[in-house]
Amino acid sequence: MSVEDGGMPGLGRPRQARWILMLLLSTAMYGAHAPLLALCHVDGRVPFRPSSAVLLTELTKLLLCAFSLLVGWQTWPHGALPWRQAAPFALSALLYSASNNLVIYLQRYMDPSTYQVLSNLKIGSTALFYCLCLQHRLSARQGLALLLLMAAGVCYAAGGLQDPRNTLPGPPPAAVANPMPLHITPLGLLLLVLYCLISGLSSVYTELLMKRQRLPLALQNLFLYTFGVLLNLGLHAGSGPGPGLLEGFSGWAALVVLSQALNGLLMSAVMKHGSSITRLFVVSCSLVVNAVLSAALLRLQLTAAFFLATLLIGLAVSLYYGSH
């Protein structure tokens, strides 16, 4: 079984164990992101600028990469620094930045539930670019697994968690009594398709870049996150007046930034040594972690849709990575 198919050929058990641990950690960090953000809320809203959190996350990644090279955790390349090989990472940073910002703008043209359901189309777009750009053919079994993964995401987004206030007798709270109706505008649908295409392309393009270059992963990340910091610094400066860079930050917010930075580095290792498809499975499996943490920390209730989504994810993993 190849790395792209989920295996780690030629690796001993200790290295396989480290690979599995890395995937589990990444799954946990993805799943913890939304509950941690909810714990940051003050009076029902996030007290800091989202652009501040993104910029600080990119900066943390950059500093961690530089530190790993300086202390010798990864070998610095001999001779002059290959700056020409840094240029392609500007496109990666631009694609990731466009994808992250489109998520914000999409909320203006559709309700959150519609976004959560339809954004699962990026699984299909990632698989499409994976086949076209990396010239990997997916078997019928693997294609079915990815369809199940999309179905699991839709199922979970459609009602995997429930606010227990909805089931209490008496008048519901204002937010429940007047929910945002399901809707999407034509422009919103166009932007959603664009978001799914950019999301899939950014993932596959970065994987292609990292695998073709014979450079240490930390140096490739250094290039990527340097451009990321510059782009997000410009976006933060151009976003108009608002709270300062660190204004409104708490211990929970710092944990969000640190976990996202570490998860970004773990994902870059997945792209280098695994594949974009592996990343899709990590993100989908994180739904289970997200639901369990939301139930434990935010007192939300798990529904039958959650258990169905979990079953579909398990079937998808078994189909894709099981014996062919």
β partners of residue 42: 45
Cβ atoms 236, 51 nearer than 8 A: yes
DSSP secondary structure string for all residues of 134-196: H--PPPHHHHHHHHHHHHHHHHHHHHSEE-GGGGSSSSPPHHHHSPPPP-B-HHHHHHHHHHH
Q: pLDDT confidence of 117, banded at 50, 70, 90?
A: confident
251 or 157, which is more confident:
251
Residue 216 sits at φ, ψ, to 5 deg, of -60, 145
Q: pLDDT confidence of 129, banded at 50, 70, 90?
A: very high
pLDDT at 97: 86
In this predicted structure, the answer to whether residue 52 has a pLDDT above a threshold of 70 is yes
pTM for the whole structure: 0.82
Average pLDDT of the chain? 83
pLDDT at 3: 47
Helix-helix angle 276-297:140-159, to 10 degrees: 20
Average pLDDT over residues 178-192: 74
In this predicted structure, the answer to whether residue 318 has a pLDDT above a threshold of 70 is yes
Residue 123 to residue 125: CA distance in whole angstroms: 6
Contacts of 38 (CB under 8 A, 6+ apart): 294, 297, 298
Give CA separation, 35 vs 82, 139, 169, 244, 291, in Å: 41, 36, 27, 24, 9
Contacts of 105 (CB under 8 A, 6+ apart): 191
